[in-house]
Amino acid sequence: MVLIIVTLALKKSTGLQWILSGLTVGSIYALMAMGFSVIFSSTRVINFAQGEFSMLGGMLMYTFSNRAGIPALYSFILSVLIVTLIGAGFERLVIHPLKKPSVITIILITIGLSIFFRAAAKWIWGTDTLAIAPFSGDKPFKLLGATLVPQSLWIFGFTLLTVVLMFIFFNRTILGKGMRAAAENPEAATLVGVSPPATSLVAWTIAAALGASAGIIIAPIKFVSFDVGVMLGLKGFASAILGGLGYAPGAVVGGLSLGVLETIVAGVFPSGYKDAVAFLVLVIVLLLRPQGILGRQEKLE
Amino acid sequence: MLRVEKVSTFYGNIQALRDVTLRARRGRITTIIGANGAGKTTLLRTILGLTQARHGHVFFEDEEITKLPPERIVRMGISQVPQGRQIFSELSVEDNLQLGAYVRRFKDRAEIQRDKEFVFELFPVLYDRRRQTAGTLSGGEQQMLAIARALMSRPKLLLLDEPSMGLAPKVIQSIFKTLFELHEKGLTILIVEQDAKIALEASDYCYVMRTGKIALEGSAKELLENEEVKRIYLG
Ligand SMILES: Nc1ncnc2c1ncn2[C@@H]1O[C@H](COP(=O)(O)OP(=O)(O)O)[C@@H](O)[C@H]1O
Ligand SMILES: [Mg+2]
């Protein structure tokens, strides 16, 4: 598989085209995957509402920038802020008050939450597919023979920035180190004073912000509607699994790989097969290498 | 300094502690010995709030801490070196120490730095390995790191759960020597041990636990001469 990609990339400009397009969506998947990973590693919960954070981000962006005419940058900040507050508020108001909930309970609650968000979005924004203007025009340009839209650069830039910020947070700040400690050994983390409720709140806040940003920066390329969260969530989840849940660099590798893989499949096979790639990846990884590409074997407790 | 009064703790329907009463006096080394499964770890977990007591009370410096969450208790000045060390193996030695000071992360950076230097003096090998991932340390070094990490929160009372477990006699000796040094400096220590000989020699006062109960207690000297203790625990 890798060989095919490399050959294509070297031989034809279509190969490069695929890779660049793949990295564009792949960056979005990577952001989504980081959202899944950060919640999973600190609370062992899969947040099935992760995709809806993206949908809400895109929808709010549409409302602020297209409807209210607020400049893109401010609309972006405002939308991310609101979704982040929703994520944090949900953790505080719904998950936090539960006394010793089982992981499965929380997972079911996140599924309920995602259904609720979709219904609410349908009610507020309707079922139309909405278009958002690209951040800086839509005039395609050539890069090494491949054609790219300017939005792709925003996506690459933002993803890179996010990855760097995440790295700094988890490796250089005491709060981030505390989260890694809690991910590795929750009880020992408690013993040094890292409180699980605080860890959970921070994780949900980060995940919501990541989800919202991903949903907003992809919207000018892919449109947005009340149900985009389902696919984005699934792709992000598959990427996280591919990269090894709970391991941050893995999320990026998983996301980018899935993006490129998907684009190649879309180029080679009829377009309908593209979305099946994520499912296929999910099944294959879970069967063959449940710890993901970069992940390590989960320690059994 | 620490008072445990008639504490009973359950795991589901299984009762692991039965009316346990004990105290750890200020400035002393107190030990708890008992066979595997006697409930020693459960007792320490209950003191720290990791496991909730169903009945009874725990007081620290005359304040009730029975129902407080662990991080509050740590902040009040109790620190635990857990059984099996439980260091953060994927983080560096230095990060482990910094996390030990997590409860005071927002104040006194300079002091945290000084404490770090202090534990490096206690365990020079940790200084040599400060950038290494903690998982790469040897068992003895990991135990030292676990103790150093616990000290970083500036505890008034240090709880240790079987610090000698799985270590070579030489390493055990050096670790206990360090504990004595800390004790000299005024730290109150409560040690749980299966290895009764080490524990008794180290301590001022000792409790013997059996199937979730305190079976015997007395000064280390008394217990060293007690026939039953000699027969069962000192073999
Ligand atoms: N998580 C748990 N769930 C159920 N029973 C437990 C658990 N932990 C310990 N026990 C039981 O409680 C008793 C005391 O265990 P423990 O406190 O670990 O003893 P010790 O530290 O003295 O070896 C044992 O019978 C053990 O089987
Ligand atoms: Mg034990």
Q: Buried b vs exposed e over B97-111: b needs ≥16 C-beta within 10 Å?
A: bbbbbbbbbeeeeee
Confidence band, pLDDT 50/70/90 cuts, at residue A84: very high
pLDDT, mean of residues A109-126 = 95
Mutation to test the B interface, candidates A173, A185, A192, A201, most B Cβ within 10 Å: A192
Q: Which of A23, A26, A43 is nearest to A207 (CA)?
A: A43
**pLDDT for res A299:** 42
Q: What is the pLDDT of residue A293?
A: 67
Token pair of A37, please?
């990973």
Which residue in B169, B167, B191 sits closest to B180, CA to CA? B191
C-alpha torsion sign, points A258, A261, A266, A270: negative
| Subunit contact B70:A191, Cβ cutoff 8 A | yes
* pLDDT value at residue A3: 61
Nearest Cα residue to B191 out of B99, B82, B84: B82
* Percentage with pLDDT > 70 across chain B: 100
- The pLDDT value given to residue A179: 93
With contacts defined as CB-CB under 8 Å, which chain A residues touch B86? Answer: 185, 187-188, 191
Which domains does chain A carry?
2-287 (1.10.3470)
ipTM here: 0.90
pLDDT digits (tens, 9 = 90+) for A249-301: 889 999 999 999 999 888 888 877 888 888 888 888 888 877 766 665 554 33
Q: Of ligand 1's atoms, which has the minimum distance to the CA of residue B212?
A: 14
What is the average pLDDT value for chain B, to the nearest integer? 93
Residue A157 has pLDDT above 50, yes or no: yes
What is the C-alpha to C-alpha distance for residues A56 and B16, in angstroms, rounded to an integer? 49
Q: Kindly tell me if the per-residue pLDDT of A20 is higher than 60.
A: yes
More confident residue, A18 or A296: A18
pLDDT top residue among B137 and A299: B137
Q: Do β-strands B157-161 and B78-81 pair in parallel, antiparallel, or remain unpaired?
A: parallel
Atom 11 in ligand 1: which residue has the minimum CA distance? B16
Pocket of ligand 1 (CB under 6 A): B 11, 14, 16, 34, 36-42
Distance from CA of A192 to the nearest CA of B (A): 5
Is 80 exceeded by the pLDDT of residue A7? no
- Of the candidates A26, A18, A2, the one whose C-alpha atom is nearest the C-alpha of residue A253 is A26
Element (H, E) at B193: strand B188-193
Neighbours of ion ligand 2 (CB under 5 A): B 40-41, 83
Q: A7 or B84: whose pLDDT is higher?
A: B84
Residue A123 or residue A250, greater confidence: A123
Looking at CATH, the fold of the domain delimited by B2-77+155-233 is given as: Rossmann fold (3.40.50)
Pick the more confident residue, B109 or B87: B87
At residue A300, the pLDDT reads 36
Query: What mean pLDDT, rounded, does chain A reach?
Result: 88
Q: Where are the domains of chain B?
A: 2-77+155-233, 88-154
- For residue A33, what are the contacts with CB-CB under 8 A and spacing of at least 6? A236, A237, A239, A240, A243, A251, A252, A254, A255
Q: Which ligand is nearest to the CA of B51?
A: 1
Of B152, B149, B139, B28, nearest to B81 (Cα)? B149
pLDDT of residue A295: 64
Using a CB–CB cutoff of 8 Å, tell me whether A249 touches chain B. no
Instruction: Please state at what angle helix A103-125 crosses helix A50-61, rounded to 10 degrees.
Output: 20
Check whether B180 has a pLDDT greater than 70.
Answer: yes
Mean pLDDT value across residues A84-99:
92
